[in-house]
Amino acid sequence: MARNEEKAQSMLNRFITMKEEEKKKPKERRPYLASECRDLAEADRWRQQILREIGHKVSEIQNEGLGEHRIRDLNDEINKLIREKVHWERRIVELGGPNYATHGAKMTDLEGNIVDVPNPSGRGPGYRYFGAAKKLPGVRELFEKPPELRKRRNRYAISI
C-alpha cells in the first residue's frame, strides 16, 4: 500500500501533466460574428467570456492615474464589448436560450442615476462612461443637470 505522500505526489503529477496538455492546445478564438455560432452552450460560453473581459476593464478604468488617452481607450473598449455582449445575447435567444436582456440590471452611478447617454438612433444601448471616464473634461458636462428654469407666474397663479 502506498503512503499518503506518494498518493499526493501522484495526484500532483497528474494535475501538472493535464495542465501542460491544455497549454499545448491552441486557444479557441471567439467568432467575429455571433451568427456564426450554432451551439447554445458555446454562445453562452462566449457571452461569459465577454462579461469577464468587461469586468476586468471596468476594474482597470477605476484608476484615475492612467492618463486621459488610456481612460478614453478603455471606455471605448468597454462600450464595444457591451455592444458585442448584446449581439451574443440576441443569438442565445435565437438558439432557444434564456433572454438575458429582460432581466439585466441597468447601469447606475452612486446617486442611482443611469450612466447611459442615449443612443441617437433610439435602439440599443447608448454610450456609457465608467470609473475615471466620468471625470474627464467634456464628460462632466454631460452628467451635470441644467439649472432649473423658474416658471413665470401668470395672473391666475398670483391671485390664488
28: helix, strand or coil: coil
What CATH number labels 37-141?
1.10.287.660
Per-residue pLDDT of the chain (160 residues; tens, 9 = 90+): 567 767 667 788 888 888 888 777 777 888 899 999 899 999 999 999 999 999 999 999 999 898 899 999 999 999 999 999 999 999 999 999 999 888 766 666 556 555 555 555 555 567 888 888 888 888 877 777 776 777 777 877 777 6
108: helix, strand or coil: strand
Domain ranges of the chain: 37-141
Q: Residue 41 forms beta bridges with which residues?
A: none
In the chain, at which residue ranges do the beta strands (DSSP E only) sit?
116-117, 127-128
- CA dihedral defined by 60, 66, 68, 71, rounded to 10 degrees? -10
Backbone angles phi, psi at 26, to 5 degrees: -70, 140
128: helix, strand or coil: strand
Residue 86's CB is within 10 A of a number of other CB atoms, namely 18
pLDDT at residue 3, rounded to an integer: 72
109: helix, strand or coil: coil
